[in-house]
Structures are given as C-alpha cells and as structure tokens.
Structure 1
C-alpha cells in the first residue's frame, strides 16, 4: 500500500515546482512584450471613447512637416447596427439619420476630404420615401488628411477633432445621435498627439 502512494506523492511534490517554473516563463514573456511595446517609438497616438452605442477610436499617423493623417474608426457596440454615410445631408433624409463625420478645428485644418473604407449601401426604411445611404453593419473607418494651421510655429498648440455619428438597427431603431463631440489634440512641430 505504501509503494503506490510514494510515486503519487512525488508527483504531487513536483507540481508546485512545475507551476512555479511555468509562471516564471509567463512573467518573463509578459515583461518582454511590455518592454517591446513601450520601446516602439513609431506607435501612433490613439484616443478612444464610447457613446450612444458606438466606440470611436482616433489615431494619428504619418505626422511629418506639420501634415499627417487622422483616422476615426466607428465600431457599433452591438451586432446588427450600421452607421450613416458621410454623404448623408446634415439633417438626414426626411429627418432620418445623421452623417458619420470627423472634422477638425483650432490649430488644425483638413488637407482634403474624409474618405471611408466601406462601400455605401442604399436602404429603404419604413415611413421614408427616399433610400437612405448607410455603411454595412459593423465598423467603418474615416481617414482625414490634416495639416497644422501655423506650420512654421515651433510652440505647442491645441486643436479639436469633432466627431459626429448615429448608429441604427433596421429592426430596433436608432441610438441618439452624437453631434460634434470634441476630442482635444496637442500640436508641436514634430508631433500630433492626444493628451
């Protein structure tokens, strides 16, 4: 009877050593990943917020010579929701919908129109005579080329990205629109960042 328990006992005694070794390896891997991410100098500036059924992620890329690109990714928080096209009139179609948009103010100016990464669909809604332009259900990214208003300045300044959208589901209706929600950006000669 004592012989069978001895091997099991030795396995049980070895288990804490194996767990400790595994945890040490995981910790080392985690530290390596974190230090690599922190050391990455070219990571773009990012800001994020969630409001009225959509998470908006803003990023800055390619900032050079006081010009760069501002992207805004609009992701509905629930499946089956779409966003309206940037081409939708500001008041919607027969009052339905609000355009998805990102504009800038303050120390930044648009250096061209915003472009979307999704095709525009035209859907018919009950009670609306005209087709409404929307993006397919799910996320859509707008890309806006931007430039500093005062590119020769070496002093820091601020600007705002103004974010607007409304998300809707053809069966459940729409969330309350978000209109011109400001997101602050800091401008320096070599960087455009979020505080």
Structure 2
C-alpha cells in the first residue's frame, strides 16, 4: 500500500502509516489478536447481523462472544434453550458451537432475559429474548493438539409477532486460525 506521507512530521507520518497497515490487515480478517485482546469479525444473513469476537485470550483459553442483532425493529431471537426443532415446529435456538482446534469449556449463556410468547396453533409457550440484540458468550479452550484451524458454527432465527419470521440459519460456519501470536478470524 503506497500512501504519501508528510515530510514535516516523520513520527506522525510513521504512526499514520502503521495505523493504515493495521487497518488493511484487519479489513482482510487476517490480523491475529495479541494475548488479552480480541479477534473480531461480522456478517449479515437472513435479517440478522452477527458480530463475533474471541477475547480474553490467554492461551489456551478465551471467551467467544456472539452478538446477534436483528436488522429491523420489532424482531426477536429464540432462547438458547429452545429445542433444536423449536416448540411445535416454531422457532430455532440461538446457537454457538466450535469445532477443530477449539473446544467449548462450558455452556453457552445469553445476557438477555428469556420471556415467553404465545404463537397461534402452538400449544406450549415459546421462549424468546426481548426484541433487539442478544449477546451470547461461550468459554473456549485450545484443543490439546495445539495451533490450527477452528470453525465457529452459528444458528439462529429472528421473528416479529407482527411481520413473521426470517429464514432460519443453521450451522453457519465462520473460520478461525489459532497461532502462537493469537487467534484470527480468516473469513466467513
């Protein structure tokens, strides 16, 4: 990347060049997160933006956070405790799992308080989070095999009591590489 730098302030110019290089690396999703910082990435699919971060990385452990944000107001996500096929076929659980060089070291938790809704034609109440974003966390650890590739698998569905539902997402992969320098998302 060729960027003209002002000659008057060489320190400022070098700092600006370093920041541009870091921004270019981050835009490619290839920048490893140093110990204690967070590797991040995001994507939007079927009406929800998902932002992933692997933070508090102190090899071999860290915290995988996924923030699920419906694109439109009035949409909610389903509870992480919802059965895989929903309740009476309605809904899909908000899910985060890891494979490859990472292993879950606990249960997925969500910051949102679960409430229930009634859906016409379904006998049981359906557990959902309040409308808007939901933040989930999953403690993870590097597999005993050491460095390598890992995959985060995501599942979710968003619905509105007035507008219906988006198409559910199941096992949506996001790739991650673990190195001695730290974790880095490598694409989605």
Return 5+ residue gaps in structure 1 as ranges. 1-27
Q: Give CA deviations for 1:132-161 in whole Å, capped at 9, x if unaligned.
A: 00000000011000001126x3xx410000
Structure-2 residue corresponding to 1:163: 154
Give the number of the structure whose residues are more often helix, by fraction. Answer: 1
Shift of 1:189: 3.3
2:71 maps to 77
1:43 shift after superposition: 4.5
Name the CA distance, whole Å, in 2 between partners of 1:67 and 1:43. 12
Give the C-alpha shift of residue 65 in structure 1.
2.6
Q: Work out which of the two has the higher radius of gyration on C-alpha atoms and give 1 or 2.
A: 1
Residues 102-127 of structure 1 show CA distances to partners (whole Å, capped at 9, x for unaligned) of 00011110000011010000111111
Assess if the C-alpha contact under 8 Å between 1:66 and 1:190 holds in 2: no
Give the number of equivalent residue pairs.
162
TM-score when normalising by structure 2: 0.79
2:112 maps to which residue?
118
Matched residue, 1:61 = 55
- After superposition, the CA RMSD in angstroms is 2.3
In structure 2, how many angstroms separate the alpha carbons of the residues matched to 1:191 and 1:69? Answer: 13
TM-score (norm. length: structure 1): 0.77
